[in-house]
Amino acid sequence: QVQLVESGGGLVQVGGSLRLSCAASRNIGRIDLWAWYRQAPGKQRDLVASITSDHRTVYADAVTGRFTISRDKGKNTMYLQMNSLKPEDTAVYFCASWGIRNYWGQGTQVTVSS
């Protein structure tokens, strides 16, 4: 079964850091684009950051300068380093991939307390 599995979420204080990981199963095939999305309660799911197979990145304005997306092709894993976290970063974070098909992970909760 093809799947994406997120990890690394949790509770952190304002100004703290977290590193999210998204591991893809070996049979996922070629991945052209990875992305992190987040969804806060009662809000739509929004793009946080994306990275292409040649490492071109895009960030939402709200996280630019604080978050860094990266990928390790050999490990079939994507990361999101989140620094200087704010309460408004609280959300469920989802990873997604696009290649032959589009896949989504189940999400990991990030809570930033003030």
When pLDDT is cut at 50, 70 and 90, the band that residue 36 belongs to is: very high
* Cα–Cα distance, 96 to 113 (Å, whole number): 26
Would you state the structure tokens that stand for residue 29, as one six-digit string? 């095939």
Q: Work out the average pLDDT over 70-87.
A: 95
Q: What is the pLDDT of residue 55?
A: 93
Asked whether residue 59 carries a pLDDT value surpassing 90, the answer given is: yes
Share of the chain above pLDDT 70, in %: 100
pLDDT at 2: 79
Instruction: Give residue-wise pLDDT tens across range 93-111.
Output: 999 999 989 999 999 999 9
Mean predicted confidence (pLDDT) in 72-85: 95
